[in-house]
Structure 1
Amino acid sequence: MAIQQSSRSSLLLAAGLDAALVLVFVLIGRASHQEDILGTLITGLPFLGGLLVGWLVMRAWRSPQKIVWTGTGIWLFAVGVGMLLRTVSGQGTEFSFVVVATVVLGVFLLGWRGLAVLLRHRQARTRAVA
Structure 2
Amino acid sequence: MTRTRGWLAAVVDIVLIVAFALIGRSSHAEAASPIGLWTTAYPFLAGWAVGWLVVRGWARPMRLWPTGVVVWVATVAIGMLLRVLTGQGDVAGDPLPLSFVIVATISLAVFLLGWRAVVRLVAARSGRRGRGRV
Q: TM-score range by the shorter chain?
A: over 0.9
Aligned to 1:11: 6
Aligned to 2:104: 101
2-side partners of 1:28 and 1:116: how far apart?
A: 23
The root-mean-square deviation of aligned C-alpha atoms, in Å, is 0.8
2-side partners of 1:7 and 1:62: how far apart?
A: 7
Q: What's the % identity of the aligned pairs?
A: 46
The superposition leaves residues 48-102 of structure 1 with CA deviations (integer Å, 9 ceiling, x where unpaired) of: 0000001011111110110011101100000000001111111122111111000
2-side partners of 1:46 and 1:58: how far apart?
A: 19
Aligned to 2:25: 30
2-side partners of 1:95 and 1:32: how far apart?
A: 17
The number of equivalent residue pairs is 125
Runs of 5+ in structure 2 lacking a partner?
90-95
2:42 to 41, 45, 69: 45
4+ long deviations beyond 6 Å: none
TM-score normalised according to structure 2 size:
0.90
Higher helix fraction (1 or 2): 1
